[in-house]
Amino acid sequence: MIDFELTDDHESLVQTVREFAGREVAPHIKEWDEKQQFNRAILNKMAELNLLGVCVPEEWGGAGFDYVSLGLVCEELEYVDTSLRVIMSVHTGLNCLTLYSWGTDAQKQKYLAPQAKGEKIATYGLTEPGAGSDVVGARSVARREGDEWVLNGEKMWISLADVADNFLFFCWTDEEKRRKRDHTGMSCFIVERTMPGFSSGTIHGKMGIRAGNTGYFSLQDVRVPAANMVGEEGEGFKIAMFALEQGRYTVAAGATGVIRASRDASVAYAKERETFGVKIANHQLVKQKIAEMEADYQMARLLWLRAGWLKNEGRPNGRATSLAKWQATVRSEKAASMAIEVHGANGYSNDYPVERYLRNCKAAVIYEGTRDIHTLMQADWALGLKSEKPARVTLPPYRPTESREAVAAD
């Protein structure tokens, strides 16, 4: 039975993250956004609170919380700014949970444990200049030379590209299958920034998430040990899709935070702004917008909570996670837009945060599967054209431990 009541641990975690984001980020985010400035110190503070490995078991350096906790962290962080949630998405959702599920014990010891502790920062490299939703359109390749693989390729629109220490790199390891666009010819590798032939750069001029680091990285004859292959040769596409499922979950929870932030900003403004001699909170059309934001928030939150519950139980959740991501992101765009309308001309200025909400939330409608991709996926599930098939590797169900280390007190 699904229980939507948060535990004491959940409530404590929410309070810790809320206070952290309100104290360390909220007072500065307008300036960071204007200057397109990423504050590296935030990563250290998140690590001190054990947030970067919040749902990774203690034995691998994490805090040992459940997957619902990961969603709660993402919602609270994106309530303040999307750039914070993006850190959780790529570091924890896309990378750490992939290594936790697919990695060998040696890989977990070498890479996952320091990442979960925040000693190393990690990200995920799938998108390329000419390949986004069309994953098999990727051009990155690897060739085997003895006990090493030689990697070449370029990845684009990578969060934390100029900050991360470790990267998951997806590429073709079978040239014949590449020509046939057969995804079973793709593999996944762990790449370190310090490996010779690695370079990265930052993308400037973004519409939103300006306080976050987004860029590209390039591999030119980068040699990695064969032991750095994640999963088996030819499983890269499956691993990429697995990782995206975890990333979508974090995006869904984060977008729900945008809806709540838009609602709260609109409620506060409506109570103080007057037109025609009365507070605009008394105008029916303003009430309608706020009511829709409230409804959208409650629906989006229930959807990601259900996906998180399924993850905790170790049950298939691709369909639920896709639905949560799709609905939360499109509704966040709607909520942010209506919030600007509630604020009128003031909403068009960065004197109020709602214009930043709209600029930020647009990206989430695109990454981790566009709204169009998720629309088609949900239709195929409803039509019986798509099903959640048994997989060789799945996300391990949540198993609480008595000795779980609590997130650091504020």
Distance separating alpha carbons of residues 150 and 144, to the nearest angstrom: 6
Q: Is 368 a catalytic residue?
A: yes
Beta strand 122-125 pairing with 166-172? parallel
| Catalytic-labelled residue, pool 24, 313, 368, 402 | 368
Cα 331 to Cα 227, 284, 290, 379: the distances in Å are 43, 21, 13, 19
Distance separating alpha carbons of residues 356 and 82, to the nearest angstrom: 9
Distance separating alpha carbons of residues 266 and 159, to the nearest angstrom: 30
User: What is the token pair recorded at 334?
Assistant: 């709607």
| CA angle centred on 329, ends 324 and 330, rounded to 5° | 110
Distance separating alpha carbons of residues 324 and 4, to the nearest angstrom: 16
User: What is the token pair recorded at 243?
Assistant: 């990782």
Distance separating alpha carbons of residues 143 and 150, to the nearest angstrom: 5
Phi, psi dihedral angles at 73 (to 5 degrees): -60, -45
Distance separating alpha carbons of residues 199 and 255, to the nearest angstrom: 31
Distance separating alpha carbons of residues 327 and 242, to the nearest angstrom: 20
Whether the Cβ atoms of residue 100 and residue 60 lie closer than 8 Å to each other:
yes
Phi, psi dihedral angles at 112 (to 5 degrees): -65, -45
Beta strand 229-230 pairing with 186-192? antiparallel
Three-state SS at 188: strand
Distance separating alpha carbons of residues 36 and 12, to the nearest angstrom: 32
Q: What is the set of active-site residues?
A: 368
